[in-house]
Amino acid sequence: MAEQEKRPNFIVRFFRWIWNLFTQPAARMGAGVLVIIGVVVGIAGWQTKMTVIDATSSTAFCTSCHEMEAFVLPAVAEGPHWNNASGVRAECRDCHVPKEYFPKMAVKINAGLVELPAHFMGKISTQEKYDAYRPVMAHRVWDKMKANDSRECRNCHLWEAMAEEDQSRPAWMLHQRAQEQGQTCIDCHDGVSHGMSRRDYEQAEAAAAGSP
């Protein structure tokens, strides 16, 4: 009876086993068990990371902050990528989050280190701040898309998939010329998503410079 009273109860023994599992060498645990545990933990961690990345790339998440909902989304909603005859909507991730793993990680790291702090510091928190910084953001994205040959555009749009009969004659000729000259989508379609093209910004700057 005295020996039974001295023996730790189940809960105490369970927590002691957990403690020993993390603090003592695995003398009694086979290497295969450790490998299996490592694989399970690795898969769970990987899946958790990809789930978080997917959730933070959604349009609902991207437009959940004030400046995106108030300033960015209205311009996008007026473009053909948001509402169109085919009913196919381009989400934020389709244009701004690469599908390839390493470019995707670079975008997400930049978002965490640069864009998130800028949001909390109120860099574009008002209409005036947004309007002043909008050309900088636009040119930054255009330069990036120019450098990667409009990679995200090509997830949906391909030269070889274009049907001549579904385009006007001038549009078809321009597309053929662009392909021959090595141009990329963003060279001509820079204002298709956010409502302002390079020419629009240049005209606005010229008008501002000429105003009294």
Are the beta carbons of 72 and 195 closer than 8 angstroms?
no
CA 41 – CA 117 distance, rounded (Å): 31
Non-local (6+) Cβ contacts of 117 within 8 A are none
Please tell me whether the overall predicted TM-score, pTM, comes out greater than 0.85 for this model. no
Distances (CA, A) of 196 to 16, 182, 200: 64, 24, 6
Distances (CA, A) of 23 to 16, 72, 123: 10, 52, 47
Give residue-wise pLDDT tens across range 121-140. 999 999 999 999 999 999 99
Give residue-wise pLDDT tens across range 26-69. 555 566 677 788 889 999 999 999 999 999 999 999 999 999 99
Between 143 and 33, the more confident residue is 143
Are the beta carbons of 188 and 178 closer than 8 angstroms?
yes
